[in-house]
Amino acid sequence: MVQADISQLSGECNTWRESLRSYRDEINQFKQSLQQAASQPLSKDQLQNVEHYHNQFHIQLINVHDLKQSIKAHDRRVNFEMAAHKGQLNEDTVSEHEHLFDRYQTLDHTLQNLRDDFNSFLNRMS
């Protein structure tokens, strides 16, 4: 068992989930921008890019949802263990928190790159 600061762990979980909600909203806005871009005459390369971004947005929305659900389940586990074990967490739970943070950072980096790439694509379309 490990002594942990539940408010810090829960706060981190809430911060990650809020950030993922923002990413979800941003991706949905990107999908609308992509639909507008696709409504004009496009070259074969541009059509391939439209399909690529359409697929990426779909995949990343799934990734955002899955990670958000994992974080939510983890947060519930943290709260349960803290209550059941008088402020102590299993080492597996602490390890899972670190693993979720790594997953969050990886997805955050992926989404930032996708944002930059997509904005460059839109600028080339103008």
Counting as low any pLDDT under 70, the low residues of the chain are 1-4
Q: What are phi and psi of 32, to 5 degrees?
A: -65, -40
> How far apart, in Å, do the first and last CA atoms of the chain sit?
58
Q: What is the pLDDT of residue 67?
A: 98
In sequence order, what E strands does 9-57 have? none
Q: What is the pLDDT of residue 71?
A: 98
Q: Read off the pTM.
A: 0.92
Q: What is the pLDDT of residue 87?
A: 77
Q: What is the pLDDT of residue 1?
A: 64
